[in-house]
């Protein structure tokens, strides 16, 4: 694609080496690079092989495409909040970004039955809405409740689903293939990466005590706590390890839709190579 070529034309190895000399140069280069990667991802989700997909993608492909779009949208928002120096919002965005990357990767490694299971698992609470309506919940007599109900019914009609089509999902506790996210993560990445990436983001209780200590509180000299009403400064280094999870699903997607040529392979190789170089240079230049 021409827009990807224009992005890559801005870079050359001499320029990269020159722009990574100091912490300030490194940070500026990293922000530009991350923005360009998000734009590359954006462009990749608009690619299609017109012989395979003359117009769009069926429900056998679209769930993955939706996750890939979510990745680049979240990445762009992450960079925006870095520029606004707001690390707390970035910490909120990191979790769905990693979820989308891992689940897309997992779906692309499996067959159509897993894709269908993934789609069905998303109806857990929508079925509860239908049950609540049948049990006479007054909420569904309101305009807001009626809008929500009609949205659920329209989606199920589109997918030719009835309330009786979810026996397997109920049996598996509404988990994809009956697996926890940790189990899915461990099939994609080494399980030792989990604690320092997704584990610390999600914890067993969402909105955890550690999260409050990190972002919402300040500890006083006497051991008590007070509210911390300000934004925490953002550190661009946090984007580098997150980015490494995002490249593989885009590769697999391009292979799936028969659009993976040498130019796109080299583009994604370049993204991984520069991201790895940034990680090493951050480690070298930052004095903790």
User: Percent of the chain, pLDDT > 90?
Assistant: 74
73 compared with 196, residue with greater pLDDT: 73
User: Which of 19-33, 201-215, 240-254 is the least confident region?
Assistant: 201-215
pLDDT confidence of residue 237: 87
Q: What would the 3-class secondary structure string for 15-67 be? A: HHHHHCCCHHHHHHHHHHHHHHHHHHHHHHCCCCCCCCCCCCCCCCCHHHHHH
Tell me if 250 sits within 8 A of 75, measured CB to CB.
no
Task: Write out pLDDT tens, residues 165-177.
Answer: 999 999 999 999 9
Task: Write out pLDDT tens, residues 60-71.
Answer: 999 999 999 999
Task: Write out pLDDT tens, residues 257-282.
Answer: 999 999 999 999 999 999 998 988 88
Tell me if 201 sits within 8 A of 94, measured CB to CB.
yes
Query: DSSP labels for 96-154?
Result: HHHHHHHHHHHHHTS-HHHHHHHHHHTTHHHHHHHHHHHTT-GGGGSHHHHHHHHHHHH
Q: What is the mean pLDDT of residues 89-118?
A: 95
| pLDDT for 288 beyond 60 | no
pLDDT confidence of residue 12: 76
Confidence class of residue 17 from pLDDT cuts 50, 70 and 90? low
Q: How many CA atoms lie within 13 A of 133 on its CB side?
A: 18
Residue 288 is encoded by which pair of tokens?
């903790």
């Amino acid at each position: 694609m021409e827009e990807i070529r224009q992005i890559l034309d801005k870079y050359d190895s001499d320029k990269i080496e020159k722009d990574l000399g100091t912490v300030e140069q490194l940070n500026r280069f990293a922000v530009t690079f991350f923005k360009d990667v998000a734009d590359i991802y954006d462009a990749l989700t608009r690619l299609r092989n017109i012989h395979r997909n003359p117009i769009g993608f069926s429900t056998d492909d679209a769930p993955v495409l939706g996750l890939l779009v979510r990745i680049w949208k979240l990445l762009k928002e992450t960079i925006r909040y870095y520029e606004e120096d707001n690390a707390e919002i970035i910490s909120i965005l990191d979790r769905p970004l990693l979820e989308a990357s891992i689940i897309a990767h997992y779906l692309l490694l499996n067959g159509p039955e897993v894709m269908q299971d993934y789609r069905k698992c998303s109806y857990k609470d929508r079925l509860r809405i239908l049950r609540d309506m049948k049990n006479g919940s007054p909420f569904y007599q309101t305009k807001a409740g009626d809008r929500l109900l009609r949205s659920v019914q329209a989606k199920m009609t589109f997918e030719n689903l009835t309330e009786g089509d979810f026996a397997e999902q109920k049996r598996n506790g509404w988990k994809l293939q009956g697996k926890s996210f940790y189990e899915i993560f461990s099939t994609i990445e080494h399980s030792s990466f989990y604690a320092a990436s997704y584990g610390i983001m999600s914890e067993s209780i969402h909105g955890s005590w550690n999260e409050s200590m990190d972002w919402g509180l300040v500890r006083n000299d006497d051991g008590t706590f007070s509210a911390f009403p300000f934004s925490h400064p953002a550190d661009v280094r946090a984007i580098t390890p997150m980015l490494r999870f995002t490249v593989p699903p885009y590769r697999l997607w391009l292979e799936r839709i028969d659009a993976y040529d040498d130019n796109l392979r080299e583009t994604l190789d370049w993204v991984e190579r520069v991201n790895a170089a940034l990680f090493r240079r951050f480690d070298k230049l930052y004095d903790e």
